[in-house]
């Protein structure tokens, strides 16, 4: 049965590419994916697979019950896009100004719909039940996973799997981890409140840009001097905004950043240390501040047994050149919430374009569409292996 399903995925490839490129042209932001959700619902109507809409927001969940008894496997794909202008000069570039599928979620959606289609063709031979979770709002905390889980999408589920088409990894490689796989992703914002004035008379000001520059440097010492080197943590500043004229010292500077960790104790320690550094720096320059810290998604922690099952499944796919365990990534994903509730694993499907690497969340982002076949086949093999 597995080989037949793989052949059907191969036969669907042109259709998958067409669907993915259609979705790529009409991206929607997190929590605003109404047309995308409607598109997914229409596909399940065509497939005659029962589904529910508006789960936890814009989520769609379809359920395929095999004719034979067995366990219930949930497969998840996300379908939101990002507030990025698509700069590719391709016929399928985004038609929605300032919105782009810059992380492969169009490919995730297409992959899961293809899996649903071929499994439906063999419903009479299928053991157990497959739940297809199409999740909204992965890109924007608090995300779509948690409300969908609270709405009951994992009820009666035994195992949950998901994949990310990953352009950091070459085509033909599948990667996962037996434990920590992706990090907790937190967000903080600092507003430094100084006293503005003319750039020619700086002694009459309390320059928030100078304070902010010192603060950025001081914050880096939390990781380098306050954290055990054997621990894993990242603190990065992504935005620093102040002023609107070259010769005017502004009143306020804004600094925006992220913290990535695996250890919850360390996560809270870093938050506290950030505020200590802010307070001390601002006292030294006689300025005030506001500090906002948001705890984001928890770390993605795979269950070792199912990480092994993913690699076993990938090894059954002829296009896979290597299936391997890797060190954790410091990127974040709300798939973490599914794995807090149920056994399972998340994995990367290599999708790097042969002629060059373009990172996720980049205006020129694209991926090797052949990776959708590997992703689909690995998910199929993993699903079948659960009920062997």
* Site of tokens 């810059």: 102
Residue 173: CB partners within 8 Å, gap ≥ 6? 320, 321, 322, 323, 324, 350
pLDDT in tens, the chain (388 residues): 899 999 999 999 999 999 999 999 999 999 999 999 999 999 999 999 999 999 999 999 999 999 999 999 999 999 999 999 999 999 999 999 999 999 999 999 999 999 999 999 999 999 999 999 999 999 999 999 999 999 999 999 999 999 999 999 999 999 999 999 999 999 999 999 999 999 999 999 999 999 999 999 999 999 999 999 999 999 999 999 999 999 999 999 999 999 999 999 999 999 999 999 999 999 999 999 999 999 999 999 999 999 999 999 999 999 999 999 999 999 999 999 999 999 999 999 999 998 878 999 999 999 999 999 999 999 999 999 999 8
**Active site (annotated) includes residue 138:** yes
- Annotated catalytic residue, options 80, 251, 334, 369: 80
Phi/psi at 99 (5° precision): -130, 140
Q: What is the pLDDT of residue 356?
A: 76
**Active site (annotated) includes residue 80:** yes
> Known binder of ligand: residue 191?
no
Question: Which fold does the domain 2-181+299-386 belong to in CATH?
Answer: Aminopeptidase (3.40.630)
What are the sequence ranges of the domains in the chain?
Answer: 2-181+299-386, 184-297
Residue 182's CB: how many other CB atoms inside 10 A? Answer: 26
> Known binder of ligand: residue 282?
no
Alpha-carbon distance of 99 to 94, in angstroms, equals: 7
- Annotated catalytic residue, options 28, 86, 106, 138: 138
Q: What is the pLDDT of residue 97?
A: 97
Bridge partner list, 59: 55
The architecture CATH gives domain 184-297: 2-Layer Sandwich (3.30)
Q: What is the pLDDT of residue 33?
A: 98
Alpha-carbon distance of 106 to 27, in angstroms, equals: 8
* Site of tokens 């299928």: 126
b/e per residue, 98-137, with b = 16+ CB within 10 A? Answer: ebbbbbbbbbbbbbbbbbbbbbbeeeeebbbbbbbbbbbb
Alpha-carbon distance of 49 to 120, in angstroms, equals: 8
> Known binder of ligand: residue 361?
yes
> Known binder of ligand: residue 360?
no
Identical topology for domains 2-181+299-386 and 184-297? no
* Whether 116 contacts 62, CB under 8 Å: yes
Give which of 10, 24, 75, 114 is closest to 370, Cα–Cα: 10
């Amino acid at each position: 049965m597995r080989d037949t399903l793989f052949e059907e995925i191969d036969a669907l490839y042109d259709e998958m590419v067409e669907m993915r490129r259609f979705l790529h042209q009409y991206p929607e932001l997190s929590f605003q994916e109404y047309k995308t959700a409607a598109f997914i619902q229409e596909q399940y109507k065509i497939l005659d697979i029962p589904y529910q809409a508006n789960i936890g927001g814009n989520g769609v969940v379809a359920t395929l019950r095999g004719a034979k008894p067995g366990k219930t496997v949930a497969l998840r794909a996300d379908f939101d896009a990002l507030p990025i202008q698509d700069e590719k000069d391709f016929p399928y570039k985004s038609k929605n100004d300032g919105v782009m599928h810059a992380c492969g979620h169009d490919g995730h959606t297409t992959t899961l719909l293809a899996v649903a289609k071929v499994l439906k063709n063999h419903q009479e031979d299928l053991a157990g039940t497959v739940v297809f979770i199409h999740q909204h709002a992965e890109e924007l905390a608090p995300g779509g996973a948690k409300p969908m889980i609270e709405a009951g999408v994992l009820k009666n589920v035994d195992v949950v799997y998901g994949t990310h088409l990953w352009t950091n990894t070459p085509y033909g490689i599948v990667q996962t981890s037996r434990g920590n796989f992706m990090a907790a992703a937190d967000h903080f914002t600092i507003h430094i409140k100084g006293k503005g004035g003319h750039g020619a008379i700086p002694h009459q000001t309390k320059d928030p840009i100078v304070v902010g520059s010192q603060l950025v440097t001081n914050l880096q010492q939390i990781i380098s001097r306050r954290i055990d080197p054997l621990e894993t943590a990242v603190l990065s500043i992504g935005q620093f905004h102040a002023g609107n004229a070259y010769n005017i010292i502004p009143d306020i500077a804004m600094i925006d950043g992220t913290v990535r960790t695996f250890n919850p104790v360390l996560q809270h320690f870093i938050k506290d240390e950030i505020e200590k550094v802010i307070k001390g720096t601002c006292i030294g320059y006689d300025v005030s501040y506001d500090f906002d810290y948001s705890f984001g998604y928890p770390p993605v922690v795979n269950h070792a047994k199912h990480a092994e099952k993913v690699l076993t499944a990938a090894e059954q796919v002829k296009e896979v050149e290597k299936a391997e365990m890797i060190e954790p990534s410091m990127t974040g994903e709300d798939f973490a919430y599914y794995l807090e509730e149920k056994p399972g694993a998340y994995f990367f499907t290599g999708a790097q374009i042969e002629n060059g690497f373009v990172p996720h969340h980049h205006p020129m982002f694209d991926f090797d569409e052949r990776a959708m076949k590997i992703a689909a086949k690995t998910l199929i093999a993993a699903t079948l292996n659960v009920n062997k």
